[in-house]
Amino acid sequence: MRSRELYQRYHRLILKLAQEGESCSSSLEGLRELLAQFESEAAAIAPNGVQFLREQLSAQLEHAALCSAQSNQRHVLFAAVKRLEQWPDGN
């Protein structure tokens, strides 16, 4: 899998999770799992490009959050943005 495909897949999965309308705690738990998988897969296929992928995903999710009319969806998307921006590089 290439970086672009990885980015697109996780972008789609996170948007889907935010749109499902589950309780915030369920959505945030699922979000933590998705982001951990994203980090693991990104490090495996693009070790030098993880930060770039993180930044791109964060920017797109922030845009989606700003455009969302649903508060629960915005909350989940902004939580994803915050986590992606604060993720340690491990360097």
pLDDT at 83: 94
pTM, two decimal places: 0.87
Backbone CA torsion sign across 89, 17, 6, 36: positive
**pLDDT at 11 (0 to 100):** 95
DSSP letter string over 2-23?
A: -HHHHHHHHHHHHHHHHHT---
Tell me the domain boundaries of the chain.
3-86
Q: List per-residue pLDDT tens for the chain, 91 residues long.
A: 688 899 899 999 999 999 886 666 778 889 999 999 999 999 998 888 899 999 999 999 999 999 999 988 999 999 999 999 997 764 4
89: helix, coil or strand? coil
